[in-house]
Protein backbone atom coordinates (compact mmCIF):
# COMPACT_ATOMS: atom_id res chain seq x y z
CA UNK A 1 0.00 0.00 0.00
CA UNK A 2 1.10 3.46 -0.78
CA UNK A 3 1.16 5.70 2.23
CA UNK A 4 2.49 8.88 0.77
CA UNK A 5 0.31 11.91 1.23
CA UNK A 6 -0.69 13.81 -1.87
CA UNK A 7 0.43 17.39 -1.69
CA UNK A 8 -1.19 20.52 -2.99
CA UNK A 9 0.67 22.04 -5.92
CA UNK A 10 2.99 24.61 -4.46
CA UNK A 11 3.32 28.18 -5.65
CA UNK A 12 6.67 27.13 -7.09
CA UNK A 13 5.15 24.47 -9.33
CA UNK A 14 2.56 26.92 -10.53
CA UNK A 15 5.28 29.38 -11.38
CA UNK A 16 7.19 26.60 -13.08
CA UNK A 17 4.18 25.75 -15.23
CA UNK A 18 3.79 29.36 -16.13
CA UNK A 19 7.38 29.54 -17.24
CA UNK A 20 6.98 26.41 -19.30
CA UNK A 21 3.91 27.81 -20.97
CA UNK A 22 5.65 31.05 -21.69
CA UNK A 23 8.43 29.07 -23.25
CA UNK A 24 6.06 26.95 -25.36
CA UNK A 25 4.41 30.06 -26.67
CA UNK A 26 7.70 31.75 -27.38
CA UNK A 27 8.98 28.67 -29.15
CA UNK A 28 11.36 27.21 -26.61
CA UNK A 29 9.82 24.07 -25.20
CA UNK A 30 8.00 21.93 -27.71
CA UNK A 31 5.64 19.74 -25.78
CA UNK A 32 3.23 20.57 -23.07
CA UNK A 33 2.19 18.02 -20.56
CA UNK A 34 0.66 17.78 -17.14
CA UNK A 35 -0.67 21.26 -17.52
CA UNK A 36 -4.31 20.38 -17.67
CA UNK A 37 -5.00 21.88 -14.27
CA UNK A 38 -4.18 25.39 -15.25
CA UNK A 39 -6.33 27.34 -17.65
CA UNK A 40 -4.76 28.17 -20.98
CA UNK A 41 -6.49 31.49 -20.87
CA UNK A 42 -4.80 32.52 -17.66
CA UNK A 43 -1.48 31.39 -19.04
CA UNK A 44 -1.93 33.25 -22.30
CA UNK A 45 -2.79 36.38 -20.37
CA UNK A 46 0.14 36.04 -18.06
CA UNK A 47 2.56 35.12 -20.81
CA UNK A 48 1.49 37.96 -23.01
CA UNK A 49 2.17 40.25 -20.09
CA UNK A 50 1.13 43.84 -20.01
CA UNK A 51 0.66 44.27 -23.73
CA UNK A 52 -2.90 43.04 -23.71
CA UNK A 53 -5.65 44.76 -25.51
CA UNK A 54 -8.26 43.18 -23.35
CA UNK A 55 -9.34 44.33 -19.91
CA UNK A 56 -10.71 42.61 -16.89
CA UNK A 57 -9.37 39.18 -17.55
CA UNK A 58 -8.26 38.57 -13.99
CA UNK A 59 -11.81 38.63 -12.83
CA UNK A 60 -13.24 35.16 -12.47
CA UNK A 61 -16.91 34.55 -13.00
CA UNK A 62 -18.84 33.35 -9.99
CA UNK A 63 -19.84 30.10 -11.63
CA UNK A 64 -16.24 29.32 -12.42
CA UNK A 65 -15.15 30.02 -8.88
CA UNK A 66 -17.85 27.70 -7.61
CA UNK A 67 -16.80 25.10 -10.13
CA UNK A 68 -13.21 25.31 -9.01
CA UNK A 69 -14.20 25.17 -5.37
CA UNK A 70 -16.17 21.95 -5.72
CA UNK A 71 -13.72 20.52 -8.23
CA UNK A 72 -16.15 19.94 -11.10
CA UNK A 73 -14.32 22.12 -13.54
CA UNK A 74 -12.98 20.21 -16.48
CA UNK A 75 -11.37 21.53 -19.56
CA UNK A 76 -10.86 20.23 -23.04
CA UNK A 77 -7.23 21.07 -23.61
CA UNK A 78 -5.63 19.86 -26.78
CA UNK A 79 -2.19 20.18 -28.30
CA UNK A 80 -1.46 19.11 -31.86
CA UNK A 81 1.39 19.76 -34.23
CA UNK A 82 1.69 19.26 -37.96
CA UNK A 83 4.42 20.07 -40.45
CA UNK A 84 3.29 21.96 -43.51
CA UNK A 85 5.40 22.29 -46.63
CA UNK A 86 4.82 26.05 -46.99
CA UNK A 87 6.53 29.12 -45.55
CA UNK A 88 5.44 30.39 -42.13
CA UNK A 89 4.42 33.75 -43.54
CA UNK A 90 1.85 32.18 -45.84
CA UNK A 91 0.38 30.01 -43.10
CA UNK A 92 0.29 32.87 -40.63
CA UNK A 93 -1.50 35.13 -43.11
CA UNK A 94 -4.18 32.55 -43.84
CA UNK A 95 -4.80 31.81 -40.18
CA UNK A 96 -4.70 35.46 -39.13
CA UNK A 97 -7.83 36.00 -41.21
CA UNK A 98 -10.03 34.25 -38.69
CA UNK A 99 -12.91 33.97 -41.13
CA UNK A 100 -10.78 31.33 -42.89
CA UNK A 101 -10.86 29.04 -39.85
CA UNK A 102 -14.25 27.40 -40.60
CA UNK A 103 -12.80 26.18 -43.90
CA UNK A 104 -10.83 23.57 -41.99
CA UNK A 105 -12.14 23.62 -38.39
CA UNK A 106 -15.14 21.36 -38.52
CA UNK A 107 -16.67 22.39 -35.20
CA UNK A 108 -16.60 26.08 -36.07
CA UNK A 109 -19.53 27.22 -38.20
CA UNK A 110 -18.36 30.78 -38.76
CA UNK A 111 -16.02 33.45 -37.48
CA UNK A 112 -16.95 37.02 -38.12
CA UNK A 113 -14.04 39.42 -37.93
CA UNK A 114 -15.12 42.63 -36.23
CA UNK A 115 -11.88 44.57 -36.12
CA UNK A 116 -8.15 43.91 -35.96
CA UNK A 117 -8.50 42.29 -32.54
CA UNK A 118 -12.09 41.19 -32.12
CA UNK A 119 -14.09 38.41 -33.68
CA UNK A 120 -17.41 36.64 -33.17
CA UNK A 121 -17.34 32.84 -33.21
CA UNK A 122 -20.23 30.48 -33.88
CA UNK A 123 -19.71 26.79 -33.23
CA UNK A 124 -21.95 23.90 -34.19
CA UNK A 125 -23.76 22.21 -31.36
CA UNK A 126 -25.87 19.06 -31.29
CA UNK A 127 -29.48 19.22 -32.51
CA UNK A 128 -28.77 21.97 -35.03
CA UNK A 129 -28.07 24.41 -32.23
CA UNK A 130 -25.14 26.74 -32.14
CA UNK A 131 -22.94 28.27 -29.49
CA UNK A 132 -21.60 31.77 -29.90
CA UNK A 133 -18.98 33.90 -28.22
CA UNK A 134 -16.74 36.88 -28.76
CA UNK A 135 -13.01 36.47 -28.87
CA UNK A 136 -10.09 38.82 -28.75
CA UNK A 137 -6.54 38.42 -29.98
CA UNK A 138 -4.19 38.69 -27.03
CA UNK A 139 -0.87 38.10 -28.78
CA UNK A 140 0.00 38.58 -32.40
CA UNK A 141 3.53 38.08 -33.66
CA UNK A 142 3.58 38.18 -37.47
CA UNK A 143 4.71 34.89 -39.05
CA UNK A 144 5.22 33.37 -35.59
CA UNK A 145 2.26 33.30 -33.27
CA UNK A 146 -1.39 34.17 -32.86
CA UNK A 147 -3.11 33.78 -29.47
CA UNK A 148 -6.75 34.42 -28.77
CA UNK A 149 -9.23 34.04 -25.99
CA UNK A 150 -12.95 34.52 -25.42
CA UNK A 151 -14.03 37.73 -23.73
CA UNK A 152 -14.91 37.64 -20.09
CA UNK A 153 -18.63 37.98 -20.63
CA UNK A 154 -18.72 35.12 -23.12
CA UNK A 155 -20.79 32.06 -22.31
CA UNK A 156 -17.94 29.88 -23.44
CA UNK A 157 -14.41 30.11 -22.17
CA UNK A 158 -12.34 29.36 -25.20
CA UNK A 159 -8.67 30.09 -25.75
CA UNK A 160 -6.03 29.01 -28.16
CA UNK A 161 -2.83 29.82 -29.87
CA UNK A 162 -1.14 28.72 -33.04
CA UNK A 163 2.62 28.88 -33.39
CA UNK A 164 4.56 28.72 -36.66
CA UNK A 165 8.15 27.58 -36.50
CA UNK A 166 10.46 26.64 -39.39
CA UNK A 167 11.18 22.90 -39.46
CA UNK A 168 14.75 21.68 -39.69
CA UNK A 169 16.41 21.24 -43.05
CA UNK A 170 13.96 23.34 -45.05
CA UNK A 171 11.14 20.88 -44.41
CA UNK A 172 8.42 23.46 -44.15
CA UNK A 173 6.83 24.93 -41.06
CA UNK A 174 5.88 23.23 -37.82
CA UNK A 175 2.42 24.42 -36.86
CA UNK A 176 1.48 23.86 -33.26
CA UNK A 177 -2.05 24.50 -32.09
CA UNK A 178 -3.10 24.54 -28.47
CA UNK A 179 -6.79 25.04 -27.82
CA UNK A 180 -8.88 24.91 -24.73
CA UNK A 181 -12.56 24.89 -23.95
CA UNK A 182 -13.23 25.30 -20.28
CA UNK A 183 -16.32 23.55 -19.11
CA UNK A 184 -17.75 25.17 -16.03
CA UNK A 185 -20.73 22.83 -16.03
CA UNK A 186 -24.27 23.13 -17.24
CA UNK A 187 -25.88 22.78 -20.62
CA UNK A 188 -23.20 24.68 -22.49
CA UNK A 189 -20.52 22.41 -21.16
CA UNK A 190 -22.49 19.36 -22.15
CA UNK A 191 -23.01 20.73 -25.66
CA UNK A 192 -19.32 21.45 -26.12
CA UNK A 193 -18.27 18.12 -24.70
CA UNK A 194 -20.65 16.39 -27.10
CA UNK A 195 -19.32 18.43 -29.98
CA UNK A 196 -15.82 17.12 -29.40
CA UNK A 197 -16.86 13.62 -28.47
CA UNK A 198 -14.53 11.19 -26.84
CA UNK A 199 -11.41 12.33 -28.59
CA UNK A 200 -10.97 16.06 -28.94
CA UNK A 201 -7.31 15.56 -29.92
CA UNK A 202 -8.41 13.68 -32.99
CA UNK A 203 -10.80 16.41 -34.02
CA UNK A 204 -8.20 19.11 -33.69
CA UNK A 205 -5.73 16.80 -35.43
CA UNK A 206 -8.18 16.42 -38.32
CA UNK A 207 -8.65 20.18 -38.43
CA UNK A 208 -4.90 20.58 -38.76
CA UNK A 209 -4.72 17.89 -41.47
CA UNK A 210 -7.32 19.83 -43.42
CA UNK A 211 -5.38 23.07 -42.91
CA UNK A 212 -2.29 21.31 -44.24
CA UNK A 213 -4.20 19.93 -47.25
CA UNK A 214 -5.59 23.35 -48.08
CA UNK A 215 -2.20 25.02 -47.82
CA UNK A 216 -0.25 22.33 -49.69
CA UNK A 217 -2.76 21.26 -52.33
CA UNK A 218 -5.42 23.96 -52.47
CA UNK A 219 -8.21 21.54 -51.62
CA UNK A 220 -9.38 19.17 -48.90
CA UNK A 221 -9.34 15.47 -49.73
CA UNK A 222 -12.81 14.01 -49.59
CA UNK A 223 -14.98 11.10 -50.61
CA UNK A 224 -18.26 12.73 -49.60
CA UNK A 225 -20.68 12.44 -52.48
CA UNK A 226 -19.02 9.55 -54.26
CA UNK A 227 -21.08 6.55 -55.42
CA UNK A 228 -21.56 3.44 -53.32
CA UNK A 229 -23.49 0.21 -53.72
CA UNK A 230 -26.73 -0.22 -51.84
Partner 1 sequence: MKAVCWHGTHDVRVDTVPDPTILNPRDAIIKITSTAICGSDLHLYDGFIPTMQSGDILGHEFMGEVVETGPGVTNLKQGDRVVVPFTISCGSCFFCNQDLWSLCDNSNPNAWMAEKFYGHSPAGLFGYSHLMGGYAGGQAEYVRVPFADVGPLKVPDGLTDEQVLFLTDIFPTGYMAAENCDIQPGDTVAVWGCGPVGQFAIRSAFMLGAERVIAIDRVPERLALAQAGGAEILNYEEIDPGEALKEMTGGRGPDSCIDSVGMEAHGTGPMALYDTVKQAVRLESDRPQVLRQAIAACRKGGKVSVPGVYGGFIDKMPMGAFVNKGLTMRSGQTHVHKYLKPLLERVQKGEIDPSFVITHRLPLEEAPRAYKIFRDKEDNCIKVVLKPFSTAA
Asked if 168 interacts with partner 1 (CB under 8 A), we say: no
Q: Which is nearer to partner 1, 89 or 112 (CB)?
A: 89
Q: For residues 174-203, which are near partner 1 according to CB under 8 A? A: 202
Select the span of 7-15, 18-26, 125-133, 205-213 touching partner 1 (CB under 8 A).
205-213
Asked if 227 interacts with partner 1 (CB under 8 A), we say: yes
Asked if 221 interacts with partner 1 (CB under 8 A), we say: yes
Of the candidates 34, 49, 50, 229, which one interacts with partner 1 according to CB under 8 A?
229
Contact 43, 21 (CB under 8 A): yes
Asked if 70 interacts with partner 1 (CB under 8 A), we say: no
Closest approach of partner 1 to the CB of residue 175, in Å: 13
Asked if 83 interacts with partner 1 (CB under 8 A), we say: yes
| CA–CA dist 225, 51 (Å, integer) | 48
Beta bridge partners of 130: 124
Contact 39, 21 (CB under 8 A): no
Contact 172, 83 (CB under 8 A): yes
Asked if 172 interacts with partner 1 (CB under 8 A), we say: yes
159 membership: H or E segment, kind and range: strand 157-166
Asked if 87 interacts with partner 1 (CB under 8 A), we say: no
Asked if 216 interacts with partner 1 (CB under 8 A), we say: yes
| CA–CA dist 37, 15 (Å, integer) | 13
Q: Which is nearer to partner 1, 155 or 201 (CB)?
A: 201
Asked if 206 interacts with partner 1 (CB under 8 A), we say: yes
Select the span of 22-30, 61-69, 110-118, 212-220 touching partner 1 (CB under 8 A).
212-220
Of the candidates 37, 65, 85, 97, which one interacts with partner 1 according to CB under 8 A?
85
Q: Which of 102, 69, 128 is nearest to 220 (CA)?
A: 102
Across the beta sheet with 74-84, the strand order is: 74-84, 173-183, 157-166, 145-150, 129-141, 118-125, 108-113
Asked if 226 interacts with partner 1 (CB under 8 A), we say: yes
- Angstrom distances, CA of residue 54 to CA of 68, 136, 145, 172: 23, 7, 18, 33
DSSP state of 220: -
Asked if 71 interacts with partner 1 (CB under 8 A), we say: no
Burial of residue 47 (CB within 10 Å: 0-12, 13-18, 19+) is buried
Asked if 67 interacts with partner 1 (CB under 8 A), we say: no
Binding site for partner 1 (CB under 8 A): 83, 85, 171-172, 202, 205-206, 209, 212-213, 216-230
Amino acid sequence: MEDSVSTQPSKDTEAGKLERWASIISGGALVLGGLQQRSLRGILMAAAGGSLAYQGVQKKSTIKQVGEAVGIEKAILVEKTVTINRPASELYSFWRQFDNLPKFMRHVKSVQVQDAQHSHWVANAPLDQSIEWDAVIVDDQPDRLIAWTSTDDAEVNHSGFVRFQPATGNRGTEVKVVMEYELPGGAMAAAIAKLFGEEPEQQIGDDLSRFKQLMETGEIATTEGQPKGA
